Structure 1
C-alpha cells in the first residue's frame, strides 16, 4: 500500500497530480491519504504526524510518500529510505523523517534520488517523489533508485515543547515520562489520570497517551483552546 502525507490541503490538485503519477506507473496498491491539512512549512509537526500515522505499518509492505518541503528546488536532498521492516519512505531530507528515524529499531538504508532534468523546481512531489514511490511499490530495489547517502538531516532536540494538537484539542508534548506538574502557556497542570473517564470536567490533566508521549487533556472539551496552547509552545516539567 502507498500512503500520502503533505501540507498541500485536501482537495488540492497537487495531491491528485501525485496520485496520477502513481496510477500511471501501474501502482495497484491502495492509496491511503494520511493528512494533507498539516500546517504549511511546519516540518517538526509534520515529522511527528508522519511517524504517528505510519508506525503501525511496521511488518506490512508499504511506501510512505511525505511532502512538506519549504526548500523544494534548493540544495536539500531528495530521499528514499528502507526501514527493513516492510516500510519504505520517500521525501525531502529536511528533518521530515526525524521521528521515524528516532524510533527506528534497526539500521535504516537511505539513497539520494536524482532530480530529472525536466522536473518542475517547485513540485518535486509529482516529479521526483511520486515516481520513486511508484518504483518502490512496484518492487524496484532501493539501490536502483540512487546512491546510498550518509548522515541525514535531523531536527535538534530543543527544549520540551508541544509536538501536536489533535482534533479534540489534546496536547501532545515531547515528554516521555509523566511529571508531577507541567507548565505550559503560563498554566500549571497538576492532575494526573489514566484516562478521560477518570477526570473531572473542566480540569486539565496529564496522562500518558497511546503514542507513548505525555499529553494534556480536558474531558469533553479542548485543552488546547482552554490553555491557549499551539504547536511549538514550550512546556516545563517539574517533579
Structure 2
C-alpha cells in the first residue's frame, strides 16, 4: 500500500476520503491548518509543507476556500510535490468551472491548469455541488419571511460520501488525467429543492423565484454547472435531508 497525503483532510470531503483510504490499508497523512503533526497553511507554505510531503506517493488535494487563495496554495503544494518526487496528484474540482464566471470557479479552473502543467502525474475529478451546500444556502435564507431564489436555475446535488469513494478509488490508481465528471442522480429546480428542505425542517415559507440579471446567473440558467450525462450519484436530496434532520 502507498503513503497518501490528503490536504483539507479534516473538512467535509477530506475526512471521508481519509477514512476510505485508511480502511483500504493505506498510510494516510492529514494536512490541515490545525491538524498535527502536519498543521500547514497551504497559502503560506513553509518548511512544514516539505515535511508533510516527504516520502508521499500520492496527494489528494481537497483543501479549498471560496474566500480566496486556492491558486497560491496549489502553487506551494505543486512545488513541494516536485521537490519530494510525488508520483500522483489527485484534485477535486467542480462541474462548470470553465463556463460559470464565478470568482471561486475561475480559481478552481486555474488550479486545474496549474496541475495539468505541473509535470506531475495527475488526475482531476469534477463533481456537482454537495447536498450540504444547498442546506447552507437555505439555512442562510431562513431568516427571511420569503425564500427568494434565482428564477430558472436548477442544481444537481450529489452525496459527498459517493465523491469520497470515487476519490479514494482514483488515488489508488495510476494518474488518469481529466476523468469523467460525477453528478447527482437528477437535476432539480431550486424551488423544488427548497420545498424539500422546508418539509424536512418543518418550516413554512413562501418560495418565490426572482429574475436576476448578470453573466453568472445566465450561465447557471443555461446549466453550465450541471452534468446530466454523468448522473452517476445514487443518494437523493430527500435521503440526505432525512438523515440530517430525521423524518418529520
TM (norm. structure 2) is 0.33
Higher helix proportion: 2
Larger proportion of strand = 1
Give the alignment's TM-score, normalised by structure 1. 0.34
